[in-house]
Amino acid sequence: MIIVLKQNINEAREQQLIDWLKSQGLGVHVSNGAYQTVLGLIGDTGKVDMELLESLDIVESVKRVSETFKCCNRKFHPEDTVVEAGGVKIGGGNFCMIAGPCSVESEEQIVSVAKAVKASGASVLRGGAFKPRTSPYDFQGLKATGIELLKIARQETGLPIVSEIMSAHDLDLFEDVDILQVGARNMQNFDLLVELGKSGKPVLLKRGLANTLKELLMSAEYLMASGNEKVILCERGIRTFSDYYRNTLDVSAVPMLHELSHLPVIVDPSHATGIARMVPPMALSAVAAGADGLIIEVHNDPIHALCDGAQSLRPEEYDELAKKIMKVREAIK
C-alpha cells in the first residue's frame, strides 16, 4: 500500500502517522520526492482501512498495490481451475451447457425439458425450486417438492442438477443437489457464503446486479477461504440506465475475470436480457468472448410458465442455438 502525503505538511504529524502505522505491525518505507512524500507500507496491509487513511488531513491519497483477493487470484494459481460436479467438468477448456426451466413445475415438465436439452447437448440441468421474488405475492417455487422432481429428472436423464439455495437453513434439502446456485441478490449474503464454503459442494456464484468484479471475487473468496475451491463464477447482466432490455449483459466481464482469476466463468443470457429472442445472439456473444459455459432457460411451453416465461427458449430454439454455439467455439480456437 502506498500513501501519498500532502505538500508542505508538518513533520511532527508525518512522524505521528508513521509511528501509528508501525504500531499496526507494518514496515514503512519513506520516499521523499521533489513534490511529495510517499510512504510505502510493507507487511499485511489487508486490514488497513484505506478510507480512514484517506480521511486524514495530511494525506493526499492512498493506493492499494496488491489485490485483496488471494485464493481466487490467478497470480497465485496460474492454471485454470476445473470444477467437477456430478461427473461433469467445467473450466480449463471444458465447455458446459446448463439448461432447463426457470421454475420446476411438475414431473412431466422437468423430465421432458431435461430430455430435450440433453438431446441438444446440455450436460447439466437447471431448475428453480426456491425462487427469490421481488414481491411477496409472487410464486415462490415448489421448494422441497421441486428438488425431488429435479432428482427424478436426473435419474431419467443422467444430467447432474443445479438449483438456487436462498438460505443456509435449507442446506439439508440440497444435500443431494450437484451444484448449489447463489443468486444475484444473495451474492453478498456473507452468512450464506460461509455456510456454503463449509459444505464443500460445487457453487455457482452469480454476480449481483450492481456489483463490481472485485466484489464478485471477494464473495468467491468467502467461499474459498472457508475451504471450498469448487466455485463457478457467473455473469448475468448488470443494472444500467438501459432501455429495451432488462439488464445489460457485461460480456467484458468474461475475459477480465479470466485474467484476474483461475475460476471458470459462465454466462446467463436469459436473465440478463429477459427476452427470449435476444438469448441466441447474446449466448453466441458470450461464447465468442471465451465463456466456459452458458446457463440458459428452456421451457416446453413458455406461455404457461409460472415465471420468467418471456426469457425462455423453446426446445427447438435451444437446439438450433446449441449447434451455432459449437461452431463459434470452433471458430475462436
Q: Using the minimum distance from each CB to a second copy, give the nearer residue, 70 or 115.
A: 70
Q: How far is the CB of 197 from a second copy (least distance, A)?
A: 9
Of 146 and 160, CB closest to a second copy: 146
Per the rule left: phi > 0, alpha: psi between -120 and 50, beta: everything else, 121 is: left
Q: How far is the CB of 181 from a second copy (least distance, A)?
A: 15
150 versus 218: smaller Cβ distance to a second copy: 218
Q: Shortest gap between Cβ of 88 and a second copy (angstroms)? A: 24
Q: Which residue has the cell 421432458?
A: 112
Our CB check for a second copy shows the closer of 94 and 248 to be: 248
CB 276 within 8 A of CB 312: yes
* CA dist 320 → 266, 268, 277, 308 (Å): 20, 17, 13, 21
Taking the least distance from each CB to a second copy, the nearer of 86 and 290 is: 290
Let me know the angle formed at the C-alpha of 58 by 54 and 61, rounded to the nearest 5 degrees: 35
149: exposed, middle or buried (Cβ count in 10 Å: 0-12, 13-18, 19+): buried
Q: Shortest approach of a second copy to residue 263 CB, angstroms? A: 15
Q: Which is nearer to a second copy, 52 or 119 (CB)?
A: 52
What is the smallest separation between the CB atom of 152 and a second copy, expressed in angstroms?
26
Least distance (Å) from a second copy to the CB of residue 98? 19
Other C-beta atoms lying within 10 Å of the C-beta of residue 225:
16
DSSP letter for each residue of 2-48? EEEEPTT--HHHHHHHHHHHHHTT-EEEEEE-SS-EEEEEES-GGGS
